[in-house]
Amino acid sequence: MSGIKRREFIAVLLAAAVPKATCAQERRRISVLHSGFPDRTPIHLLYEALGKLGYENGRTAAIELLGGEGDADRLKALVAHLAAQKPDVIIAITSPAVLALKQAGLTVPVVFAFVPDPVGMGIVESLAHPGGNFTGITYSEALLGGKRLGLLIDALPGIGGIAVFWGRGLPENAAILESIRTSASERGINVFWRELQGTDDLAPAFDDANRAGARAVVFVTDNLMFGHRKQIAELALTHGLPSMHSFATEVEDGGLMSYGPSMGENYRRAAALAERILKGTFPGELPVE
């Protein structure tokens, strides 16, 4: 082989090899773990936020979306999968997902969202100095229970009784229920509450609320019920019960009111924290927002 041809041959080999090496270097592995049904949520907002920061799925990032579907065993299996895969960062949505990761002892950096009490749950040492490999976004969910009741009463003055429907799919829901009951007692309002075990409980619960004299309903959602927002809104309308919810998405699907954290803003901030970690900042050094 002549010197010129040899140089051309080497140049071709380098041209073929360099783009692949560059692509592999740039693409970051991001896993999103949701304890419920992520496809029934506006998860696209998280993808959009990551894309705007330069992490576009299939191009500059490989984003894996995992849903526990409200099943503890399935969630545990997904956490084992993540422990084996070791992505560059995990974005964990809802407290059950974060607790499962914490209990498994994963060392992968984790950014959490929609977690009301990360200090009380033992996920971080403090909000200002999380320590370890967890940081994220939080809000005072339990306190919002009484606030939701107050806003509902302001909108519907004179109501003497309300219904509260809730499920244990999210550990914080019991505290929310207690906050609502305490606030209602202080205002002299009767509360009919019903724990929902599944979607089959929905129609009977609304029937029972009417019989109990409720004039409105506060719906404390969980992973399962959030995926049935339209059915819940239709039942509320059919039974003549104005409804208060946790998220704006529930109102978009037919509920009357909502008061709670912005899903879009939570996803944007989670993406921003994930970006800082991908650029080299340790999660324990990033204050919980």
From first to last of its 289 residues, what are the pLDDT tens digits of the chain? Answer: 555 455 554 444 444 444 443 344 468 999 999 999 998 889 999 999 999 999 999 999 999 999 999 899 999 999 999 999 999 999 999 999 999 999 999 999 999 999 988 998 899 999 999 999 999 999 876 778 899 999 999 999 888 899 999 988 788 888 888 999 999 999 999 999 999 988 899 999 999 999 999 999 999 988 778 888 999 999 999 999 999 998 999 999 999 999 988 889 999 999 999 999 999 999 999 999 9
Instruction: Check for a shared fold between 3-139+264-285 and 141-258.
Output: yes
- Give 260's DSSP letter: S
3-state helix, strand, coil in the chain (%, to 5): 50, 20, 35
Task: Tell me which architecture the domain covering 141-258 has in CATH.
Answer: 3-Layer(aba) Sandwich (3.40)
Please give the angle made by the CA atoms of 44, 47 and 48, to the nearest 5 degrees: 85
Give me 151's structure tokens. 């806003």
Contacts of 16 (CB under 8 A, 6+ apart): none
What are the sequence ranges of the domains in the chain?
Answer: 3-139+264-285, 141-258
The reported pTM is: 0.81
Considering the four listed CATH numbers 1.10.260.40, 3.30.2320.50, 3.40.50.2300, 3.40.630.30, the one that applies to the domain covering 3-139+264-285 is: 3.40.50.2300
